[in-house]
Amino acid sequence: MWPVLLLLPLLSPTLALDTSQCTAPLGMESGAIPDDDITASSSFDSGNVGPQFGRLRGESHGGAWCPKYQITTEPKEWLEVDLHGVHVITAVETQGRFGNGQGQEFAEAYLLEYWRPRLGKWVRFRDVKGEEVLNGNTNTYLEAKRELDPPVWASRVRFLPYSYHRRTVCMRVEIYGCYWKDGIVSYSMPQGDKRGAGWEFFDATYDGHWDGQLQRGLGQLTDGKVGPENFKMGYYDYERGQGWVGWRNDTRGGQPVEIKFEFDQVREFTAVHIFCNNQFTREVQVFSEAKIMFSVGGRYFLGDPITYSYMEDRIFEHSRNITIKLHHRIGRFVKIQLFFAARWIMISELSFESDIAHGNFSQEEPTAGETNLQSDVFVDKTVRPQSELPVSTAKQEDETYMAVLIGALMAVIILLAVAIFLIISRHRQSKNFASPLAAKS
């Protein structure tokens, strides 16, 4: 049998966020979160049941945080934890006030609100079914842990006790998650489109501003979850965030889908991964072309974009991860334009490989005669002095990479040729030894 060398594409997604590895307690119980970072709307007795005593499994002083006023279905009291940097929050845990057996107060339910700098507002958490109220405790001593689906990105978190009948409550809490290292603070883009009657391929968990365009928030594209192979299998009437965000070509006026990412600091980018649907029999295909632009200030995207063309696949319908090299480009803002190959583009997850760039970087300025911002669609390809463009401080990509790859492939081909030659030669020799004429001679 002839040896065959198969080069297969990587089909599994490269995810920026693995929530299974983001489950550590953030420091309420351990004390890693200092007292000064725990505040509250009010306290019944700040010296005995103030916010600093609202730590899970803590029994100090009164043994919990207790707000001054009783709680109803209109929550106004809150316990706030300041995490400072943006964290991914995947779970929370609560307790009532045990008070060494003397406490009788607990929260049977509560709401969560969160804040981060780019949002500029407090956002109330809703789960994938759109529910706001989280089940709390049933007694004063047992903990009740609740997974957050979807996870949230927050630098400050508030617990708002909630009760179906007026009552006094007390709470102890813990927050679980991890520091958000990928650096994306927001993305902006057009909302997804409807498909047929009632099928909304929206970014339903997006927590920013919904005003024509989605702005200054995060949602499904960065939540670490990819949609199923069949995009319809992931859609349920009762569930928000079915896995795919989709745009239809005929609603864009012939323009590409444009997504703009903002990062926490100026970064150096090596790659972007886009998880795409390719059910071409249902008019969904991977984008035909992607253009990627970079900016330090976010207003002008100068310099030629990175352009990536995708070879159309109308044989296999599986979803796939598309990786585009970004060649150590520098910026704090990244703009991606995706061009249609079919009626629909559907993407589920988008992540970057990047590191914080070191150096002094100034915001771009328009050149003489350029008074307008870069068009949302057309890319400014004017040749500019090198000094105007951000310069990478890291090592450039190894220019010999392709040469090494080609050399390795040539070596494999030569080895195969030698192996085939030896097999044929040995086969001929065995025939000669077996021949009667060879025996007589």
Domains of the chain: 19-179 (2.60.120.260), 184-356 (2.60.120.1190)
Q: How confident is the model at residue 242 (pLDDT cuts 50, 70, 90)?
A: low
| Res 239 pLDDT > 70 | no
Each residue of 292-348: pLDDT tens digit?
A: 999 999 999 998 999 999 999 999 999 999 999 999 999 999 999 999 999 999 999
Contact 118, 185 (CB under 8 A): yes
Strand partners, 333: 262, 295
List of E strands, 58-143: 79-95, 109-115, 123-124, 134-135
Among the listed residues 325, 182, 366, 340, the one whose alpha carbon sits nearest the alpha carbon of residue 251: 340
Q: Shortest CA distance to 323 belongs to which of 272, 252, 253? A: 272
pLDDT category at 235 given cuts 50, 70, 90 is very low
Please give the average per-residue pLDDT across 35-55, as a whole number. 96
Helix (H) or strand (E) holding 414: helix 401-434
Distance CA 226, CA 206 (A): 15
Q: What is the mean pLDDT of residues 128-137?
A: 94
Handedness of CA 38, 119, 349, 16 (dihedral sign): negative
Amino acid (1-letter code) at residue 107: A
Q: Apex CA 391: angle with CA 385 and CA 396, to 5°? A: 120
Phi, psi (deg, nearest 5) at residue 436: -65, -35
User: Residue 234 and residue 210: Cα distance in Å, rounded?
Assistant: 23
> Cβ(158)–Cβ(39) under 8 Å?
no
The torsion of the CA quartet 233, 235, 236, 238, rounded to 10 degrees, works out to 150
User: From CA 353, how far away is CA 349, in angstroms rounded?
Assistant: 14
| CB-CB contact of 90 with 79 (8 Å) | no
First to last CA, the chain: 34
- pLDDT of 91 higher than 80: yes
**Contact indicator for 155, 84 with CB cutoff of 8 Å:** yes
Q: Are 99 and 136 in contact (CB under 8 A)?
A: no
Q: Which of 173, 39, 13 is nearest to 106 (CA)?
A: 173
pLDDT of residue 386: 37
223-252 mean pLDDT: 74
Exposure b/e, 42-60, CB count within 10 A at least 16 = b: ebbeeeebbbbbbbbebee
Please report the pLDDT score of residue 26 as a whole number.
Answer: 98
Q: Which residues are CB-contacts of 258 (< 8 A; sequence separation ≥ 6)?
A: 189, 190, 335, 336, 337, 338, 376, 377
Share of the chain above pLDDT 70, in %: 82
Q: What is the pLDDT of residues 57-75, one digit of tens each?
A: 999 999 999 999 999 999 9
For the stretch 170-188, what's the b/e string if a residue is b when 16 or more beta carbons lie within 10 angstroms of its beta carbon? bbbbbbbbbebebbbbbbb
